[in-house]
């Protein structure tokens, strides 16, 4: 077996597990901060109880996010040593700031908020949880800044066969990082909102005594979820425009476009023949893609075949077309999940506008099932971002095959893949058990 393939599978699996918990820790921190603020301003006990109850889920997600995240950094040295050497000068500062500033800000004030409830004033408690939320978002920003360099390198020079940092602000304020950070943080809030909606729907189905408690929680989740999802859609539009300009191969793969198009046809369904570099079936809508990417009926989308020829001229012989089928269907699954979530939130918003939450049982069951929709959108969106960049580890600079650890044995890579997958599965089971027990326990 190829140790490169095994290393890629390991990083994909561990990152996917990790990202099941990170969105909840970011979004729940914000919701709990809002609840604490409402309690401070209105002095109604129900808001304090809401903060305590949803705070339990927040603490579980933070703990699991920390545990599953530690392994990711070890993989840079174990499986991706040549990549680490190549980008270490650029990756070092943002990841160090994330660890020593943002993460410490979050962890210190979690302790203050959690253990100081009886000793501190309500204002200090509110300040503490908002600092936790700020720390979580800053952590996301610095990690995404490093990832954005892989998508669109900036602020560097090539020296001694590696990239060296010459402009820290160019890395930190890379427009790709700003788009990705806003998109990701808003997606975290959407993920949390649907988690809260699912828990509330479960309690409505059981007709628990805390109906007012969960009605208020549901209203807050609807508001934050709808605003955040609209933000995700707007930023996603700008990211598509940026992709057309700076990563045209990724856009072409996401749309399964082999030859250059000027008619802006958006593919709805395609049967892709990657070896033959064609689509056996392609059901399209005229002009829609141009509207999505260029805000106009006019525009040209380069196909993968001409882009492949251009890249061969720039970088030498090789296959520079990413896995098309996986990128194409991941993109559509992400869009489908987003549209479904938007429809559910709009229905709920109309219900709340009528000042009455009376939902049929089938819709409540749908809300419980919909808890997984944002996770599906998150993972498939990440697949489009990372798989669509292939075969590059750092776009246009370093191939993924050139970033793996030299001399890594297939047996070693396979054993670590199996070990980490088993460990992460156990951790996921523990987290799910804790969450389910807390849901059943109630406020």
- Cβ distance 294 to 245 under 8 Å? no
Domain count, the chain: 1
What's the pLDDT band for 68 if we cut at 50, 70, 90?
confident
Neighbours of 388 (CB within 10 A): 24
Answer for the pair 271, 279: CB distance below 8 angstroms, yes or no. Answer: yes
Q: Which residue has the higher pLDDT, 48 or 43?
A: 48
Least confident piece of the model among 96-110, 192-206, 212-226, 377-391: 96-110
pLDDT category of residue 160 using cuts at 50, 70 and 90: confident
- Which residue from 15, 57, 177, 38 is spatially nearest to 435, judged by alpha carbons? 57
Query: Which pLDDT belongs to residue 433?
Result: 93
The partner residues of 156 in beta bridges, in order of sequence, read 165
> Does the pLDDT of residue 289 top 80, yes or no?
yes
Tokens of residue 304, six digits: 């993968």
Q: Please tell me the predicted confidence (pLDDT) of residue 48.
A: 92
Q: What six digits make up the tokens of 213? A: 């408690």
pLDDT: which is higher, 355 or 131: 131
The pLDDT of residue 116: 81
Contact yes or no for 56/35 (Cβ under 8 A): no
Q: Is 164 helix (H, G, I), strand (E, B) or coil?
A: strand
**421 is a domain residue:** yes
Helical (H) or strand (E) element with 63 = helix 45-78
What pLDDT sits at residue 2? 87
Residue 432 CA to residue 90 CA, distance in Å, equals 37
Are 377 and 57 within 8 A, CB to CB? Answer: no
* CA–CA separation, 105 and 115 (whole Å): 16
pLDDT averaged over every residue in the chain: 91
What is the DSSP secondary structure assignment for residue 400, as one 8-state letter? G
Res 189: pLDDT: 96
Residue 63 lies in a domain: yes
- pLDDT tens string 214-265: 999 999 999 999 999 999 999 999 999 999 889 999 999 999 999 998 888 8
- 303 located within any domain: no
Task: Name 416's Cβ contacts closer than 8 Å, sequence gap at least 6.
Answer: 10, 78, 79
In this structure, are residues 229 and 255 in contact, taking their beta carbons and an 8 Å threshold? no
Residue 282 lies in a domain: no
pLDDT at 359: 78
**122 occurs within a structural domain:** yes
Question: Is 190 contained in some domain?
Answer: yes
- For 195, the token pair is 């988690």
Q: Is the pLDDT of residue 339 over 90?
A: yes
Q: Is 363 a domain residue?
A: yes
Write the DSSP string, 235-274: HHHHHHHHHHHH-HHHHHHHTT--S-BSS-PEEEEEEEET
**pLDDT (mean) for 21-43:** 92
Instruction: Judge whether residue 208 has pLDDT over 80.
Output: yes
Residue 233's pLDDT is 94
| Domain contains 315 | no
> Phi/psi class of residue 434: alpha, beta or left (left: φ > 0; alpha: ψ in -120 to 50)?
alpha
Parent domain of 378 = 3-247+323-441
- The band of 355, judged by pLDDT with boundaries at 50, 70 and 90, is low
442 touches 199 (CB < 8 A): no
Average pLDDT (19-35) is: 93
Contact 12, 179 (CB under 8 A): no
Does pLDDT of 307 surpass 80? yes
pLDDT of the residue at 222: 95
Query: Is residue 8's pLDDT more than 80?
Result: yes
The DSSP secondary structure of 187-224, one letter per residue, reads: HHHHHHHHHHHHHHHHHHHHT-S-HHHHHHHHHHHHHH
Judged on CB neighbours under 10 Å (0-12, 13-18, 19+), 372 is: middle
pLDDT given for residue 293 in this prediction: 86
Q: Detail the DSSP E strand segments found in 77-208.
A: 156-159, 162-165
Token pair of 93 as six digits:
């500062």
> Which one is predicted more confidently, 409 or 359?
409
Q: What is the mean pLDDT of residues 145-173?
A: 92
Question: pLDDT-based confidence at 76, cuts 50/70/90?
Answer: confident
Q: What is the CA radius of gyration of the chain?
A: 23
pTM here is 0.94
Please check the confidence at residue 404 and state whether its pLDDT lies above 70. yes
Asked if 128 contacts 108 with a C-beta cutoff of 8 angstroms, the reply is no
């Amino acid at each position: 077996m190829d140790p490169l393939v095994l290393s890629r599978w390991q990083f994909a699996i561990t990152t996917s597990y990790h990202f099941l918990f990170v969105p909840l820790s970011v979004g729940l921190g914000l919701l709990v901060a809002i609840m604490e603020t409402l309690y401070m301003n209105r002095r109604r006990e129900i808001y304090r109880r809401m903060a305590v109850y949803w705070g339990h889920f927040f603490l579980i997600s933070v703990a699991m996010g920390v545990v599953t995240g530690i392994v990711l950094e070890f993989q840079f040295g174990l499986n991706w040593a040549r990549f680490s050497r190549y980008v270490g000068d650029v990756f070092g500062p943002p990841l160090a700031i994330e660890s020593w500033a943002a993460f410490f800000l979050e962890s210190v004030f979690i302790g203050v908020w959690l253990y100081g409830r009886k000793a501190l004033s309500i204002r200090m408690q509110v300040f503490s949880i908002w600092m936790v939320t700020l720390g979580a978002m800053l952590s996301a920003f610095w990690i995404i800044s490093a990832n954005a360099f892989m998508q669109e390198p900036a602020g560097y020079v090539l020296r001694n066969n590696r990239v060296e940092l010459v402009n820290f602000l160019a890395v930190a304020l890379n427009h790709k990082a700003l788009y990705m950070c806003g998109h990701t943080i808003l997606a975290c809030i959407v993920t949390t909102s649907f988690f809260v909606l699912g828990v509330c729907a479960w309690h409505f189905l059981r007709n628990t005594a805390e109906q007012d408690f969960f009605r208020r929680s549901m209203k807050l989740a609807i508001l934050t979820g709808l605003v955040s999802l609209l933000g995700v859609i707007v930023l996603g539009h700008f990211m598509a425009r940026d992709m057309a300009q700076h990563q045209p191969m990724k856009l072409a793969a996401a749309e399964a476009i082999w030859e250059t198009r000027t008619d802006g046809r958006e593919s709805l369904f395609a049967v892709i023949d990657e070896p033959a570099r064609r689509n056996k079936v392609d059901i399209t809508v005229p002009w829609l893609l141009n509207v999505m990417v260029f805000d106009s009926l006019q525009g040209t989308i380069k196909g993968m075949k001409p882009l492949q020829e251009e890249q061969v001229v720039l970088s030498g012989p090789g296959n520079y077309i990413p896995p098309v089928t996986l990128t194409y269907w991941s993109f559509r699954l992400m869009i489908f999940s987003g549209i479904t979530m938007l429809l559910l939130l709009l229905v709920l918003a109309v219900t709340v506008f009528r000042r009455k939450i009376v939902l049929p049982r089938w819709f409540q069951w749908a809300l419980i099932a919909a808890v997984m929709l944002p996770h599906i959108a998150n993972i498939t969106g990440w697949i489009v971002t990372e798989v669509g960049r292939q075969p590059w580890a750092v776009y246009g600079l370093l191939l993924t095959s050139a970033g793996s650890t030299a001399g890594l044995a297939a047996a070693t890579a396979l054993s670590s893949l199996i070990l980490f997958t088993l460990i992460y599965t156990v951790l996921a089971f523990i987290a799910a058990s804790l969450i389910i027990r807390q849901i059943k326990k109630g406020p």
